[in-house]
Structure 1
Amino acid sequence: MNKQIYNILLADDDEDDCSFFEEALDELSLATTLVTVNDGVQLMDFLADKSGNDLPDILFLDLNMPRKNGSECLTEIRQIEKLKDFPIVIFSTSLDSEIVDVMYDKDATYYIRKPGDFSKLKSVIENALITASENNFKKPARAHFIIQP
């Protein structure tokens, strides 16, 4: 199932990371739209205002944000009935195996370590969108949880 347009939500407090993410999307051959929120409180407010049909296709969620971190948001999101199956890609600088395991157990859909290299960033975002789409935006087995560039 390849979508025509991917409607993406990015929750990240780092302005540079948000800019690089947007630039990477602009250079992909995939059609995308992007909405950005800068902390967990903004994220939860944004999602609360959306109905089921109005939700983005996928959320890229940074773990280290002010006011409410990504882990807290993930827990809250999974407790909301309309968001139980909402595709969430953890997008973090950390690749600590304990954190990855916790995110998997909390029902994140995929996990990506933010690459420092722009071409790898483009590649990993594209891989995440295509992989998620091909998998009908469902959580994979643990062995396929981490998406590499």
Structure 2
Amino acid sequence: MSADLVHIILTDDDEDDRLLFSEALDEISIKTNLLLFEQGQKLMDYLFQPEIILPDMIFLDLNMPIKNGLQSLIDIRNHPRLKDIPIAMYSTSLADKDINDSFLSGANLYVNKPNCFNLLKKNLEQILQLNWKNHKQNLSKDSFLFRI
């Protein structure tokens, strides 16, 4: 990720979750630029524009109306220009099926939404400091589920 400014997208239909995520990013030491979308189709409409700056990382909520996170993930992984963007599934679900489906569909990380603001800040700081090239090359089921 760029040392100057990390471009992040969060797609989540829950307004409170978007607000907390944004506030947490504002309080960490890494400088970020955040774009927010409330559902996957709006994210895809944005990403398919040829003139945009591609994000350094995308956080996708799993359960959203119209186009959910898994459908968006699959669309991104099937698009030549977008397929290498690191993607973290960001969900309240810890169901094995959701984790497995996300892993098999090409997500780089699965993050359970923390119920504490300070933990969210800590998680985001650690995630944004990951060596993504190394993480992608050595991706396994153990490294996929993000744990503090």
**TM value normalised by structure 1:** 0.91
State whether structure 2 residue 143 is matched by structure 1 residue 135: no
Report the Cα distance in structure 2 between the residues aligned to 1:93 and 1:45, rounded to whole angstroms. Answer: 25
2:78 is aligned to 79
Query: Does the 8 A contact of 2:86 with 2:132 survive in 1?
Result: no
Report the Cα distance in structure 2 between the residues aligned to 1:122 and 1:144, rounded to whole angstroms. Answer: 20
3-state SS, counterpart of residue 10 of structure 2: strand
Shift in Å, 1:26: 0.7
Query: Does the 8 A contact of 2:5 with 2:32 survive in 1?
Result: yes
State whether structure 2 residue 2 is matched by structure 1 residue 5: no
Among the aligned pairs, what percent are the same residue?
40
Query: Does the 8 A contact of 2:60 with 2:87 survive in 1?
Result: yes
Q: How many residues in Structure 1 have an aligned counterpart in Structure 2?
A: 146
In terms of mean alpha carbon deviation, does 81-90 or 19-28 score higher? 81-90
Query: Does the 8 A contact of 2:13 with 2:39 survive in 1?
Result: yes
User: Residues 1-149 of structure 1 correspond to what in structure 2 (within 5 A)?
Assistant: 3-51=3-51, 54-131=53-130, 134-136=131-133, 138-139=135-136, 140-149=139-148
Shift in Å, 1:148: 2.1
Query: Does the 8 A contact of 2:12 with 2:64 survive in 1?
Result: yes
Compared CA separation, residues 34 and 130, structure 1 to 2 (3 A): same
Report the Cα distance in structure 1 between the residues aligned to 2:101 and 2:3, rounded to whole angstroms. Answer: 30
3-state SS, counterpart of residue 68 of structure 1: coil
Compared CA separation, residues 59 and 50, structure 1 to 2 (3 A): farther
Query: Does the 8 A contact of 1:87 with 1:137 survive in 2?
Result: no
Compared CA separation, residues 46 and 85, structure 1 to 2 (3 A): same
Segments ≥4 residues shifted beyond 3 Å = none
Instruction: List alignment gaps of at least 5 residues for structure 2.
Output: none
Report the Cα distance in structure 2 between the residues aligned to 1:148 and 1:125, rounded to whole angstroms. Answer: 12
3-state SS, counterpart of residue 35 of structure 1: strand
Shift in Å, 1:142: 1.9
Kindly provide the CA deviation profile for residues 45-93 of structure 1, in whole angstroms up to 9, marking residues without a partner as x: 0100145x71010000001111110011111111111111111100001
